[in-house]
Amino acid sequence: MTIGTKPSKPTLAAVAQEACVSTPTVSKVINGREDVADETRARVLAALQRTGYKTPSQRRSVPSRRAVEAVFDSLNSAYAVEVLNGVLEQAAIADMEVVLSVTSRQSGSPLGPEERAQRLIDEGRSGMIVVTSAFNSGQLNAFQRRRIPIVVVDPLNPPPGDVFSVGASNWAGGKAAAAHLLALGHRRIAYIGGPESAECSQARLHGYMAALMAEGISVQEEYVLAGPFRPSNGVQAMKSLLALDDPPTAIFAASDSIALGVLAEARRQNVRIPEELSLVGFDGTHQAAESVPPLTSVSQPLQDMGRSAVNFILRQMNGEDIDSRRVELATHLVVRESTAAPRPAAHRFTAKEAGAGNRGT
């Protein structure tokens, strides 16, 4: 009597036969090698799916449910935490796990783009969400060749047109911040931006410039500074601005984190906000509401951005035909206690007064 046997597991040879290619070609595709024609790669990937072939690492660890990897440059800002909360909330609704990784802790990682992309597949990830991190064409190509859904949120460099991205109306937010200060009567308004290459910071700068130019005000080069989205940038920029012969009466900071650094340096230099200097931030985080004084800030829908990123991943996974590859959510200005009309000209704050204030402490 013949006892029924379990169907054998698909082999590389079976996949090669299914795709009408050689076994070494299948191996090249699995390992992310670039020396394979696009049409051949597509045939092999389709054959892998039809046959159900799994790599050894996939067979060792089969996830119980879908998982998405969320990649942040760091998690030491309220901005990152808010976006992450949105990702976690939407992923929970979709019954999807979230695996978190921080690029600032991976500087010594030996994995190249191909190995990183293959590891994602081997570990059962359904896609990747990249938040405020720089990326290069090699990394994107490695993911796209393997058909891994990817979404970028507020990227530091402009994404290619075929990459899905989520952001906020940065230009409109920058214009609203500067327009608010102009309406209060300020004319000497500085901008402390993020990295010069950061697309979101550039958009906020252009909005600020548009508001000033609409009032016939020239943008002064010494009033525009750049640096990381960190409080340390605000501290250093504040020192530079106060050292000018004609310092600004108001500052628009490109993030709440930068604005918090400005507040800290203002306290050290006995500069009263908003009596002597008005300040606007950007992000609308809880830190802005809880600072002293509470910070006027352009609010971004940060949790909605995280939710939208997860929805983009899900729609790609489901093979939907998506018309737009960019989601841009609206910002709005929240006015609090860090902005006021400038003092009369005779009583405006000067760099010389700052020095005197420091000597008196």
pLDDT digits (tens, 9 = 90+) for 119-142: 777 777 888 898 866 666 777 777
Question: Is the confidence at residue 352, as pLDDT, over 50?
Answer: no
Residue-wise DSSP of 297-320: EEEP-HHHHHHHHHHHHHHHHTT-
- 268: which 2 tokens? 């050290």
Question: Is the confidence at residue 99, as pLDDT, over 60?
Answer: yes
- φ, ψ for residue 24 (rounded to 5)? -60, -35
Q: Contact at 8 Å (CB) between 207 and 178?
A: yes
Distances (CA, A) of 149 to 181, 243, 270, 358: 42, 49, 51, 54
Cβ count within 10 A of residue 79: 25
Residue-averaged pLDDT of the chain: 84
Torsion of CA 32, 38, 41, 47, to 10 degrees: 150
Q: Contact at 8 Å (CB) between 71 and 291?
A: no
Average of per-residue pLDDT across 42-69: 69
Residue-wise DSSP of 180-227: HHHHHT---EEEE-S-TT-HHHHHHHHHHHHHHHHTTPPPPGGGEE--
pLDDT at 35: 75
pLDDT at 182: 98
Distances (CA, A) of 329 to 74, 99, 171, 173, 352: 23, 25, 12, 11, 43
Amino acid (1-letter code) at residue 4: G
Dump strand ranges (E) for 43-144: 67-72, 97-102, 125-131
pLDDT tens-digit series, residues 185-234: 999 999 999 998 888 999 999 999 999 999 999 999 999 999 999 999 99
Beta strand 326-329 pairing with 278-283: unpaired
Cβ count within 10 A of residue 334: 16
Token pair 């390992």 in the structure block, residue? 31
